[in-house]
Structure 1
Amino acid sequence: MGGDGGLAIAVSGVALALKADPTLRFTLFGDEAALKAECARHLKPGQPVTIVHSAETISGEAKPSQAIRRAKTSSMGMAIALVKAGDADAAVSAGNTGALMAMAKLALRTIPGIDRPALAALLPTLGRHDLVMLDLGANTECDAGNLFEFAVMGAAYARILHDTDEPLVRLLNIGTEELKGTDALREAAAMLRAADHLPLRFDGFIEANALGRGEADVIVSDGFSGNIALKTAEGTARFIADLIRRAFTSSLRSKFGFLLSRPAITLLRQGLDPSTRNGAVFLGLNGTVVKSHGGTTAEGFANAVGVAAKLVRGRIVHRIAEDLAAIRAPATGVEA
Structure 2
Amino acid sequence: MAVSDYLKGSGTVWDPYVIHNLAAAIQFFSVDIFRSGVFAELVVDLDLSANTFNQNTKTVATLNGNGYTLTGLKHFTNNNQAATFKKLNLVSINWLNTFGQQGSEYINFEDVVFRGGTLACYSGRMNFTRCTMSSIGWKYMTAYQWGVVDSVALPPTSYALPSGFTDLRSVADPFSASRYPNYASSVWAIDGASAPRLLRQNIANLVQGYLVKGVVKVGGVLKPRFVRALSVVDFVRINDAVAEADGSFSLKCGHYSDAVMVATYEPYGTLLVASKAYVLGDIIHPATPNGFRYLCTKAGNSGTSLPPEPWSTTDTLTVGAAIFTPDPIYQPQLHGPIKPVLCDLITGLPV
Fold shared by both chains (TM-score > 0.5): no
Give TM-score, length-normalised by structure 1. 0.25
Q: Which protein has the larger Cα radius of gyration, Structure 1 or Structure 2? A: 2
Higher percent of residues as strand: 2
Q: Comparing both chains, which one has the higher relative contact order based on Cα–Cα distances under 8 Å and sequence gaps of 6 or more?
A: 1
Give TM-score, length-normalised by structure 2. 0.24
Higher percent of residues as helix: 1
